[in-house]
Structure 1
Amino acid sequence: MAIVTGDRYLESLVKFVEKQAGPLIEGSVVLKLNPVGLHYVQSRLEALHELESLLAGAPVDYLRAYISDLGDHRALEQLRRILRLLTSLKVVSVLPPSVRDPTRLSLLPFGRLRVLELRGCDLSTSAARGLLELRHTLEKIICHNSTDALRHLFASRIVAIKDSPQWKRLSFVSCACNGLLLMDESLQLLPAVETLDLSRNKFSKVDNLRKCTKLKHLDLGFNHLRTISSFSEL
């Protein structure tokens, strides 16, 4: 899809999703969005939901007259239905590789994701809406250049990590290239992880892997580790 914004982005997305609905739902084609575009789509879907709630008892034609600024009503409904069924999603910034897009992410339209890839996003300035709700379905996550701390990805900011729910289906985690300093306690929320890629960060110590009891593959290359004594906890 061409990089556009606003209504043009939404129109392009609607056409693409309608054309590729089958492969997208099957997972043979993966939807790729940028943070700004995703934010716009979510804002339109939220506006649609609010209007539907306010005018639930109104005639259909009356409702459609009030959402002319949202584009085609049926097209938006169809888009919403398909997004709910997707199992894979990529959100990739269009900014230069060294820059993170500060646009707040909302993953609320996607309730069945098993695979999520985030590149050049910003999960630390503001939490991604709907991300923690995906812990019931998510099996694989790739998060590159998108967070300052692992806990911003795996844990709530208002609940202690020890009281946070676990990601019981998440078996593949790649958090390379984030400049991370600590292997923090949120790693204890990953009991099912088998592959853990934490390469190309700034770790000086291996920590908090005791509860990763199914771990088979661990990549800590290109960090600042000076000793392997901490590997004894594995």
Structure 2
Amino acid sequence: MADHQLLIATTSAGKLREWRHLLADTPYRLLDLREAGIDFDVEETGDTFAANARLKAEAYGRASGLLTLAEDSGLCVDALGGRPGVHSARWEGDDYAHKNALLISLLAGVQDRARACRYVCSVILREPDGRLWETRGEVRGQVALAPAGSSGFGYDPIFYVPRLEATLAEVPDRAKDRVSHRGRAAQRVRAALMARLEAGAPVLGSA
């Protein structure tokens, strides 16, 4: 049934992999854009993570006719005025090894708590009838002095979580899921999806 299908509307292989893992214990059949027959990109012109997530949820939800999950996420570094922020995916190109090295160089001489940063993930669920539901996950950390770890993706190798004494690229998936921005948002998404099934779809959001 289409009501039990969920489109994970992202062109990022890393995000798709994480969402499939995070929602694997739900009864929903998780589809990617290719499986839904969608082959276009959505320009992220919003000035907030939530605005960009909404743009993608609306475009891909209309195109597919399916319950759709879209997100926008990124890294905000306090000492850089919140950059790269909503431009995280496009900032300084596509090479994350280069982007991570550049962030470290921009913080040369900045120590400890002054290297504070946060990962933000805004999520929109769009019902086939157009109703929207929104949540957000956030985790605070520090920009590491050097990249560390080989798991994860994006800025994970330089996102150091003091209480874990490790970057998000150094910890197992299960540990990352408990503390990461996407993991925290997914806890709320999972609860909303299950409530939707129990109450009878669609029940999310408002018209």
TM-score (norm 2): 0.23
The one of the two structures with greater contact order (alpha-carbon pairs below 8 A, sep at least 6) is 2
* Structure with a larger share of its residues in strand: 2
